Amino acid sequence: MLRHLLFVLNPVSGDISKTDLEDTIAAYCQQRGRTAHFHHTSGQDDLAQLQARLLRHAYDAVFAAGGDGTVNLVAQALLGTPLPLGILPLGSGNGLSKDLGIPQDIDEALPLIWQHRLRTIDTLRVGGHFAAHLADLGFNALVVERFDKGDTRGPGAYVRIATQEYIGYEPATYIIETDRETWQGKAFMLTIANANTFGSNVIINPNGQLDDGEFELCLIEPFPGAAAPSILYHLYTSAFDASNYTRRLRCRKARIQVPGETQVLVQVDGEPHRLPTPIAVDIQPGSLRVLVPVPAN
């Protein structure tokens, strides 16, 4: 039984009072014979502070109570350790929690504290950055950067920015070398996927597995405007491979170049970065333990 639990809270994620949430979590844990401890992120040296706390105190599991950024932070701190990661999804996207089957309603997710099973999954290194879920280059990375700099959150803001940026967007040329093949050409976007689904419920990698020791490079090639509705339909219906403008490269490592560019915009687990090229991507098999719901009988 996992008795001593640490909950890492991002005070600015979601629209739930963190004081009320702490009281609710503490009461749930007390009822079930667990002890709840809380750690708040501040935006300053969060990873180092969390790692230092984990060295000073003994916990049986660490829960990320926040969005994709909080999940990425906690996962990094637990990487390669026996401590499992739990997720209480409170962000705008919550991508990894969706792929792990964790309920998106906080009241339905709270039972994960005492009713769960353990799963070991792979993680990624993307240009030297840790990724627990998805990263990408191209159109979506641009939209994520604009969204990150904006004052408005939620799906509506993302759609508005995507619509604005789509007009006049020029696909880049990529040279991709993997342990299995080489590909060169233009792409509207290139997703580095260890999972299946964006937080927006777009299914970019329908057959991907979190624990198979491989990842997929999912490309959307340049397409005429008339094909956009069909591509969107495929992305929301697990039919990525059905489009004439999509392809997937399965691999264990990759090297991505953008000719003529010394730096390129990459979003990693929802956070935009400007990274030097070429970008190296490597799988880290079995590197993270996570708590997932018990399957229904």
pLDDT in tens, 264-281: 999 999 889 999 999 999
Predicted local confidence at residue 231, as pLDDT: 92
Ranges of residues in the chain whose predicted pLDDT is under 70: 12-19, 149-158, 297
Q: Which of 136, 132, 121, 119 is nearest to 75 (CA)?
A: 132
Q: What structural domains and CATH numbers belong to the chain?
A: 4-115 (3.40.50.10330), 129-285 (2.60.200.40)
Integer Cα distance of 216 and 290 in angstroms: 21
Per-residue confidence (pLDDT) for residue 194, from 0 to 100: 92
* 52 SS3 class: helix
Q: What is the pLDDT of residue 19?
A: 67
* pLDDT confidence of residue 153: 61
Residue 152: count of CB within 10 angstroms of its CB: 10
Of 227, 223, 217, which Cα lies nearest the Cα of 190? 217
Q: Give the E-state strand segments of the chain in sequence order.
A: 4-9, 35-40, 61-66, 85-89, 117-126, 129-131, 134-138, 172-178, 182-187, 189-193, 215-220, 246-251, 253-257, 263-268, 271-276, 279-292
- List all residues 6 or more positions away from 135 whose beta carbon is below 8 Å from its beta carbon: 124, 126, 129, 191, 192, 266, 267, 268, 269, 281
Q: Is the peptide bond before 278 cis (omega within 30 degrees of 0)?
A: yes
Predicted structure pTM score: 0.90
User: Of 149, 129, 157, whose CA–CA distance to 268 is shortest?
Assistant: 129
* Residue-level pLDDT at 12: 61
Give which of 253, 277, 279, 255 is closest to 129, Cα–Cα.
279
Q: Which of 134, 121, 71 is nearest to 289 (CA)?
A: 121
Query: Which pLDDT value is given to residue 297?
Result: 65
Contact 211, 119 (CB under 8 A): yes
Residue 143: φ, ψ to 5°: -65, -40
Main-chain phi, psi angles of 107, to 5 degrees: -65, -30
Measure the CA–CA gap between 212 and 191, rounded to whole angstroms: 18
